[in-house]
Amino acid sequence: MATVSFRQATRLYPGTERPAVDRLELDVQDGEFLVLVGPSGCGKSTTLRMLAGLEGVDQGEVWIGDRDVTELAPKDRDIAMVFQSYALYPHMTVAENIGFHLKIKRVPKAERVERVHEAARLLDLEPFLDRKPAKLSGGQRQRVAMGRAIVRRPQVFCMDEPLSNLDAKLRVQTRTQIASLQRRLAVTTIYVTHDQVEAMTMGDRVAVLRDGLLQQCDTPIGLYGRPVNLFVAGFIGSPAMNLLPTSVGADGAVVGGQAIPLTPAQRAALTGDQVVVGVRPEGWEVTSAEEGLPVTIEVVEELGSDQFLFCSTTVALLGGAESAESAESAESESETAPPTLTVRVPGMSPFRRAERIGLRPQPGSVHLFDAATGGRLPG
């Protein structure tokens, strides 16, 4: 086991103007499960491949433990990769697939058999050791790929979207198994996904990337509770945070008839007179239309334990899961898409489509961002 460090690591592909990964500074602790998440093209898979030695590092360094592995070949880095495509040998049995690396390394047969069976026990694969991959389900194939990584006993696991080929139910089941297995093995693991729900439920910490730049690395609770900018606020959370632009006056920012005061530090940090107010779906208080921000319920999603109300309003909104890149880009998005506010209420609530209600942000549930820079205001 070992720590992993990216030190100003940069990858610039030939013929491109912007680095795929730009001056990445990131430390992964020994035994930690770190998830890299972000929209397509943000650089998360490139980061993983730089660690594995499958991509070059144009500037900076990559360290595993106390070794600078920047120039080392992949085979010398003591890393095991788990790919999206499983990459199993179709002509080999499950046991042969799991033990293939050990055979190449000339591990004695008795030890090889013992390690294969140990991995199979961990992954509930013992009944399938004599089967070929074609006779396995998608989830079983993914567990075989995991077993092949486990038997190597590497310092670091690298997982590149290993669940993306599975159906929704199997994804939930398998991600729980992977997280549990990683805790038992205590091997440093870096896991790439585009699914922020997957990231938030699996990782000890989650690193959010955008356009090759690290936006924030924190615990799931830290990311959800204190996003550092509009992009993270809009990307993390399902449904996404509601983002509303407003001007700052003497009483502060006003949303739904409720004044939100700004501290002296927040006023000092503002670069203009515009602020973006963020409210999570569960952060709204539902009132009459006359007492709060008037909205009309367009869609009611009933999930049993929760109910989501998707409401229209005349207030211009910023944001959305991948459009909250900055205040300016979010404003342009709102010009072409009808503004929507999302509200989480208890399941089986009596709300109906076309009903008019009012919304007020609950005390302590408001996030404030500078509209010009997109950064979170202090305090």
The token duo for 165 is 């080929």
Identify the CA nearest to 345 among candidates 221, 237, 233, 239: 239
Alpha-carbon distance 213 to 276, whole Å?
A: 22
Q: Is the sign of the CA dihedral 281, 287, 293, 294 positive or negative?
A: positive
**pLDDT for the residue 336:** 40
Relative orientation angle of helices 168-185 and 138-150, to the nearest 10 degrees: 20
Q: 40 in helix, strand or coil?
A: coil
Alpha-carbon distance 203 to 367, whole Å?
A: 24
Identify the CA nearest to 13 among candidates 275, 157, 212: 212
Identify the CA nearest to 148 among candidates 137, 164, 161, 159: 159
pLDDT along the chain (379 residues), means of 10: 94 95 98 96 96 96 97 94 87 94 92 93 92 91 91 93 86 88 93 93 97 98 97 94 91 84 94 94 94 93 96 60 40 50 96 95 93 93
**pLDDT for the residue 1:** 67
- Provide CB contacts within 8 A for 3, sequence distance 6+: 27, 28, 29, 30, 63, 64, 65, 188
**pLDDT for the residue 318:** 39
Q: 347 in helix, strand or coil?
A: coil
CATH 2.60.40.420 for the 240-370 domain, yes or no: no
The token duo for 68 is 């600078």
The token duo for 367 is 């996030």
- Global confidence as pTM: 0.88
**Span between the terminal Cα atoms of the chain, in Å:** 38
Strand order in the sheet with 188-193: 79-82, 156-160, 188-193, 33-37, 205-210, 213-218
Give how far the C-alpha of residue 15 lies from the chain's centroid of Cα atoms, to the nearest Å: 29
Alpha-carbon distance 331 to 176, whole Å?
A: 38
189: left (phi over 0), alpha (psi -120 to 50) or beta: beta
**pLDDT for the residue 125:** 93
Looking at domain 4-225, its CATH superfamily turns out to be: P-loop containing nucleotide triphosphate hydrolases (3.40.50.300)
Alpha-carbon distance 273 to 342, whole Å?
A: 26
**pLDDT for the residue 132:** 95
Domain borders along the chain are: 4-225, 240-370
- Provide CB contacts within 8 A for 166, sequence distance 6+: 138, 139, 142, 174
Q: What's the Cα-to-Cα distance from 310 to each of 124, 201, 318, rounded to whole Å?
A: 42, 25, 15
What is the CA angle 272-243-172, rounded to 5? Answer: 140
- Provide CB contacts within 8 A for 195, sequence distance 6+: 37
Alpha-carbon distance 299 to 244, whole Å?
A: 20
- Provide CB contacts within 8 A for 196, sequence distance 6+: 37, 235, 236, 237, 238, 321
**pLDDT for the residue 325:** 42
For 318-339, b/e burial (b = at least 16 CB within 10 A) is bbbebbbbbbeebbebbeeeeb
**pLDDT for the residue 69:** 97
